[in-house]
Amino acid sequence: MLLSDIKEGQTARILRVGGSGALRRRIFEMGIVKGTKVYVDKYAPLKDPLEIIVMGYHLSLRVEEASQVTVEPIQTDDGQQTADNRHLPSTA
């Protein structure tokens, strides 16, 4: 599944970051690394870009960029709880 397929309020775990060159490295450096949990907070009113919470901070990226990231959704009882736990260090 791709990060761009995750719906608002859902949490996912990063499996792989695709793409190439500067963009890929930049995504990594912003903390989107394998094993990290991301919470999709919302999509912009025009459905692009989207806002995610990763490592406890808010990051926005374009749908196009999010579609380079392969994730596995994490089932949670409710999205809010996941968002609250977002400060927990996340290691693979």
Binding site for another protein (CB under 8 A): 17, 22-31, 33-34, 36, 41-42, 44-49, 51, 55-62, 65, 84-85, 87-92
- DSSP lists the bridge partners of residue 73 as 12
Rounded CA gap, 44 and 22, in Å? 24
In residues, how long is the chain? 92
Distance CA 72, CA 78 (A): 17
In this complex, which beta carbon is closest to another protein, that of residue 12 or of residue 27?
27
Least Cβ distance, residue 9 to another protein (angstroms)? 12
Q: Which is nearer to another protein, 22 or 75 (CB)?
A: 22
Q: Is residue 11 exposed (0-12), middle (13-18) or buried (19+ Cβ within 10 Å)?
A: buried
Q: How far apart are CB 69 and another protein at their closest, in Å?
A: 11
Minimum CB distance to another protein, residue 6 (Å): 17
